[in-house]
Amino acid sequence: MMERTTDDEELSVRIVVTGGSGGLGSKVVARVRELGHVAIPASRRWGVDLTTGQGLGAALVGADAVVHCASNPVRPGRTDVEGTVQLLGAIATMPQPAHLVHVSIVGCDANPLPYYRAKVRAEEAVLASGLPATVVRATQFHTLVDTIARMATIGRTRLDLDFSAQPVDVSWFARELVDHALGTPPGGAVRARDIAGPELLTVADAAEAVRAHEGRPATRGLRVPTVGRTLRAFADRSNLPGPDARIGGVGFSDWIARQPARAAS
């Protein structure tokens, strides 16, 4: 591979990617590098811990933008909320604060799931920061809907939840985030258009697509009652994109068709 020259480095944009080892963050890192810019992945694997702030200042030196993909659904208060506050504090001390592109979830404000409530609190911290920041919400990723579809299939029985999704291809979402990071930073903190994929489907549709792709035996649907506020929020379609959403990437059916079939367990 050719060595980068100093001139190349001067022209390139330096983008820190929190959660750069994760499903989304790794695609963001790859996209930044594909475009010839400098990606600095930042997560505990690289000695950056958002919950303590360890390694954060060093990672941010000279950064033009930060794409914030780090998250922990098991400890969202510590990682997503306090971690975001740590990140905002570190950006605020930069001589020229980097443009923060903050990742969130469509409909998080309409669902009492603790993880979604943490996403709302993190968004609020970003929007109140006064820093140049763009909050970008996306629908469920194909990978998550795939996991839910598999969990809903037990032998020959398919658990039919009242849950529809319009999931997004994580690679396409990563491209959108990098476009934000390379664009002109806003004067303050703003919300961008929501991001979603092109195909609306139920969990039963997704489970059927996975089953057919892997050539597994047919299943019989068993309707699952919608109990509790979290399932009701999904049944109310609060996780679906609104009419202004930016739609793109491959749909779930095309995406699953491109995945290697998994061995039957």
The binding site for ligand NAP (CB under 6 A) comprises: 18-19, 21-25, 43-45, 48-51, 69-72, 79, 83, 103, 105, 119, 138, 140-141, 144
Min dist CB 87 to ligand NAP, Å, is 9
Phi, psi torsion values for 60, nearest 5 degrees: -85, -10
CB of 179 to ligand NAP, least distance (A): 16
Structure tokens, 134: 């763009």
CB of 5 vs ligand NAP, minimal distance in Å: 31
Nearer to ligand NAP, 131 or 177 (CB): 177
Nearer to ligand NAP, 164 or 216 (CB): 164
* Closest distance of CB 40 from ligand NAP, Å: 13
The smaller minimum CB distance to ligand NAP, of residues 73 and 130, is found at 73
Contact in structure between 262 and 187 (CB atoms under 8 Å): no
Cβ proximity to ligand NAP, 147 vs 216, nearer residue:
147
Nearer to ligand NAP, 131 or 219 (CB): 131
Instruction: Return the beta strands (E) in the chain as ranges.
Output: 14-18, 38-42, 65-68, 99-105, 133-138, 153-154, 157-160, 164-165, 189-191, 195-196, 201-202, 220-223, 246-247
CB of 185 to ligand NAP, least distance (A): 20
Among all residues, whose Cβ is closest to ligand NAP? 22
Q: How far apart are CA 213 and CA 210, in angstroms?
A: 5
Minimum separation from the CB atom of position 210 to ligand NAP (A): 16
| Cα gap 101→126, rounded to integer Å | 10
Q: How many CB atoms lie within 10 A of CB 124?
A: 14
CB-count exposure of residue 162 (10 Å: 0-12, 13-18, 19+): middle
159: Cβ–Cβ under 8 A, 6 or more apart, which residues? 152, 153, 203, 222, 224
State which H helix or E strand residue 177 sits in: helix 170-182
* Residue number, 25 or 249, with CB nearest to ligand NAP: 25
